[in-house]
Amino acid sequence: MDGRQTRPAGAAAARRAGGRRVTGPQALAVAVETPQHSAVGGLLDYTSERPLAPGTLLRVPLGRREVPGIVWDRGPAPPAAGLELRPVGTVLSALPPLPADWRALVDFAAAYYQRGVGELALAVLPPELRKLDDTQLARRVARLQREAAAPSAAVPAPPARPVLSAEQAAALEIVSRADRPLLLHGVTGSGKTEVYLRAAEQALAAGRQALVLVPEINLTPQLQARFAERFPGRVLVSLHSALTPAQRLRHWLLAHLGLADLVLGTRLAVFTPLPRLGLVVVDEEHDPSFKQQEGARYSARDLAVWRAAQRGVPVLLGSATPSLESWQRALQGRYRRVEMAERIGGGAMPRVRIVDMSVLPRPAQGERVLAPALLDALHGRLARGEQSLLLLNRRGYAPVLHCAACGWKSGCPHCSAWRVFHKGDRTLRCHHCGLTERVPRACPDCGNLDIAPIGRGTEKLQEQLAALLPGARIARLDADTTRGAGMLEQQLGAVHAGEVDVLVGTQMLAKGHDFRRVTLVAAVNPDAALFSSDFRGPERLFALLMQAAGRAGRDAAQAAASEMWVQTHHPRHPLFAALRAHDYPAFAAAQLEERRQAGLPPCAALALLRAEARDAAVATAFLHDAAALAAGGDFGGGVTVYPPVPPPVSKVADVERVQMLLESPSRRALQALLAGWLPALHGLRAKHKGLLRWAVDVDPLAI
DNA sequence: AGCACGCCGACT
DNA sequence: GTCGGCGTGCTC
């Protein structure tokens, strides 16, 4: 089996079609790039002089312009009647047709997430593809095939592989005879990556390709390095949005042509055509980044599972704190759970210390930054030359400025949100629309000079720590300090080189980086997430804290002395009890029970209909009409439609947003309603002047 | 979404 | 007299 198999198959299909000896042009169904709003969502019909295999990329006339399209499988519907069909435009025959399984994946995702097939199909292809003509494309394809055929330089011998732990060996054994998705529940440091590597090794040895999905671009380089080292001589490509357009096309083509053995990428990589697919891995499967948050709002994790089932290949979902969705499926037996509870090298998980901030007396002046015991612990680490991580999930200096005289606060004029005070460059910045202005010297409303920051972000914490820990080398890692190219790597490098004693940062810190010399991790003020309006707040917090705890004591020699500190006003919250015991199953059981009682995922299926307008009343009126349509139409029952409400931040950049929740105990009932209802919504648009956009989010992360 | 067509105010 | 404002409507 090789990648070129798609070509003969396509050609055979074309021959079959031609074999009908149809005279004259034939009708073709084409998935065309038309946005959802255009109501021209489905497949369009064109004619072609010669038969074209489904999956062929081409350009077709649409109105007065030419748009990209893909020859699609027609399905049972006949060509549009009573229309003068137009002939297709340029055919990009240099590209092997996109295979049937890829089209089925796109069909499924388009139907499930309620988007046009063409819109989704074209959105998940490399953007560069639409810029090239057939000759340019043919040249690139030929070059890649030539390079692949050329005898490669001496391949270094693969490195000695580590001996598998008993748990790793057991996990791997289950992968090799997987009959359903595997949920690899392994604590940080238990060696999940080694299981991925060995599973990939098996797939590669069988002549197959492996697809490995990771939540963030930041995490690809180190994983890529490990795969590259393990598989010298194999073709490993990455796919994520930080690649240049040319690189992305090149990597995608290598995968599609069957020339790449390993594809490592972020959520968009789930749509990579892979003729020899033999394994799918989703690392950190609980991570919210797998959910696309604009356009077609697909879950790459869920599509990865679907895709693996479709192709009959193993899929491995790995996490120390699985999503409740995956955990529930494992409990139900729909996924097979594999436990990895031991850290490699026998290191223990750090001791968790919950500090009750509510019983501490207020300091004589200023605010309490760190509990005295935590401060002592930090001093101890400093004295021993060990490193500490302090987590605070809020960047900037202070979340809002306030005038004590008149009550003015630093609101954003364009958003329903506060502008954050950034002391470093003396700016007020809106984190929603990006509006940045210099901090006013005096209150803009009353002229009072005494305007003060309220609350604390990472910038202020860093400043306060500098005062509390004189002489300590304190660095900060957040979206502000890592903005430039290579800044993140540079900062991480400094930490690894031991040039930093205390690292302050947002959740960015907790993700994936191995800090060998860190023996203390502290969450400075995590309480907001406990009582957040986001029903996934506790789940996220638990994952974040467990992940952060995993940063400490990766070096087994230091593990015994490692600690995770949590400062809270609610020390008796069950989340912390579970954290202290490193007991994810207990936490998950409690959360699942709450979700069941509240009718929330994974115990219910949700969809959100969002509407945007300059005037909130317009968006709300549209949603009310939509609700009436849902109630009146015959779309099957079992779905509750809730009244429209504004989201937590209702106005962004002068656009008002309103959303309406749909909830059902049955995913199928919800899907049935959406499928019938959404097409009918197009007709409502004209009635609501000023309505800017509307869109549906199936399986939303937050409501 | 584009990109037209279409019918009303300030410019070379 | 025209350039251009964006309202409305269509795209196999």
A114 CB-to-strand B distance under 7 Å: no
CA of A62: nucleotide with nearest C1': C11
Positions on chain C within 7 A of a protein C-beta: 8-12
CA of A83: nucleotide with nearest C1': C12
Inter-CA distances, A373 with A357, A376, A380, A474, A579, Å: 11, 5, 11, 19, 19
For the CA of A33 and the C1' of C10, the distance in angstroms is 16
A380 CB-to-strand B distance under 7 Å: no
Question: What contacts A635, CB < 8 A, 6 or more positions away?
Answer: A672, A673, A675, A676, A677
CA of A63: nucleotide with nearest C1': C11
Task: For chain A, give the percent of residues with pLDDT over 90.
Answer: 67
A590 CB-to-strand C distance under 7 Å: no
A285 CB-to-strand C distance under 7 Å: no
Protein residue at shortest CA distance from C1' of B4: A64
Protein residue at shortest CA distance from C1' of B1: A35
- The pLDDT value recorded for residue A295 is 86
For the CA of A332 and the C1' of C6, the distance in angstroms is 56
Look at residue A37 and tell me whether its pLDDT is greater than 70.
Answer: no
Protein-nucleic contacts, chain A 451-510 to strand C, CB < 7 Å: none
The answer to whether residues A315 and A308 touch, using CB atoms and an 8 Å cutoff, is yes
Helix axes A220-230, A192-205, angle to 10 degrees: 50
- And the tokens for A500? 């930093």
Protein-nucleic contacts, chain A 55-74 to strand B, CB < 7 Å: 63-65
For the CA of A33 and the C1' of B2, the distance in angstroms is 12
Positions on chain B within 7 A of a protein C-beta: 1-4
How does residue A2 score in pLDDT terms, banded at 50, 70 and 90?
very low
Look at residue A16 and tell me whether its pLDDT is greater than 50.
Answer: no
Protein-nucleic contacts, chain A 118-147 to strand B, CB < 7 Å: none
Nearest to A220, CA basis, from A232, A231, A236? A236
What average pLDDT does the structure give for chain A? 90
H/E element holding A195? helix A192-205
Q: Token match 């191995």: residue?
A: A514
A693 CB-to-strand B distance under 7 Å: yes
Output the DSSP codes for A399-446.
SEEEETTT--B-B-SSSSSBPEEETTTTEEE-TTT--EEEPPSS-TTT
A40 CB-to-strand C distance under 7 Å: yes
Least trusted range by pLDDT, from A307-321, A354-368, A415-429: A354-368
Which of A151-165, A437-451, A485-499 is modeled with the greatest confidence? A437-451
The answer to whether residues A680 and A629 touch, using CB atoms and an 8 Å cutoff, is yes
Look at residue A20 and tell me whether its pLDDT is greater than 90.
Answer: no
Q: Which residue has better confidence, A511 or A523?
A: A523
Give the model confidence (pLDDT) of A663-685 as tens digits: 999 999 999 999 989 888 888 88
Protein residue at shortest CA distance from C1' of C7: A689
A86 CB-to-strand C distance under 7 Å: yes
What is the length of chain A? 703
A692 CB-to-strand C distance under 7 Å: no
Question: What contacts A483, CB < 8 A, 6 or more positions away?
Answer: none
A87 CB-to-strand C distance under 7 Å: no
For the CA of A131 and the C1' of C12, the distance in angstroms is 23
Look at residue A131 and tell me whether its pLDDT is greater than 80.
Answer: yes
The answer to whether residues A27 and A85 touch, using CB atoms and an 8 Å cutoff, is yes
Look at residue A12 and tell me whether its pLDDT is greater than 70.
Answer: no
First to last CA, chain A: 46
Looking at this protein, which amino acid is placed at residue A406? C
Q: Which residue has better confidence, A158 or A53?
A: A53
- The pLDDT value recorded for residue A515 is 79
SS3 A657: strand
How does residue A75 score in pLDDT terms, banded at 50, 70 and 90?
confident
Give the model confidence (pLDDT) of A132-161 as tens digits: 999 999 999 999 999 988 877 778 888 899
Nearest to A288, CA basis, from A625, A38, A536? A536
A27 CB-to-strand C distance under 7 Å: no
- The pLDDT value recorded for residue A556 is 60
Which of A4-13, A265-274, A554-563, A620-629 is modeled with the greatest confidence? A265-274
Average pLDDT score over residue span A450-455: 90
CA of A64: nucleotide with nearest C1': B3
- And the tokens for A81? 């009647």
Average pLDDT score over residue span A535-554: 89
Average pLDDT score over residue span A115-130: 93
For the CA of A118 and the C1' of C11, the distance in angstroms is 14
- The pLDDT value recorded for residue A10 is 36
For the CA of A38 and the C1' of C1, the distance in angstroms is 38
Look at residue A44 and tell me whether its pLDDT is greater than 80.
Answer: yes
Nearest to A462, CA basis, from A470, A472, A479, A474? A474
For the CA of A614 and the C1' of C7, the distance in angstroms is 17
DSSP conformational letter for A645: B
How does residue A6 score in pLDDT terms, banded at 50, 70 and 90?
very low
DSSP conformational letter for A3: G
The answer to whether residues A679 and A110 touch, using CB atoms and an 8 Å cutoff, is no
Protein-nucleic contacts, chain A 477-506 to strand B, CB < 7 Å: none
Inter-CA distances, A662 with A226, A303, A659, Å: 43, 22, 10
Average pLDDT score over residue span A565-593: 95
- The pLDDT value recorded for residue A291 is 96
pTM, 2 dp: 0.92
Look at residue A89 and tell me whether its pLDDT is greater than 70.
Answer: yes
How does residue A126 score in pLDDT terms, banded at 50, 70 and 90?
very high
- And the tokens for A60? 């077709």
Q: Are strands A44-48 and A86-87 parallel, antiparallel or unpaired?
A: parallel
A81 CB-to-strand C distance under 7 Å: no
For the CA of A690 and the C1' of B8, the distance in angstroms is 21
How does residue A489 score in pLDDT terms, banded at 50, 70 and 90?
confident
A679 CB-to-strand C distance under 7 Å: no
**Measured in whole angstroms, how far is the alpha carbon of residue A102 from the centre of its chain?**
21
A119 CB-to-strand C distance under 7 Å: no
For the CA of A536 and the C1' of B12, the distance in angstroms is 62
For the CA of A412 and the C1' of C5, the distance in angstroms is 30
Look at residue A4 and tell me whether its pLDDT is greater than 50.
Answer: no
For the CA of A38 and the C1' of C10, the distance in angstroms is 9
How does residue A367 score in pLDDT terms, banded at 50, 70 and 90?
confident
Output the DSSP codes for A124-166.
TS-GGGGT--HHHHHHHHHHHHHHHHSPPPPPPPPPPPPPPPH
Give the model confidence (pLDDT) of A276-332 as tens digits: 999 999 999 999 999 999 889 999 999 999 999 999 999 999 999 999 999 999 999
SS3 A67: strand
CA–CA gap between residue A5 and residue A41 (Å, rounded): 31
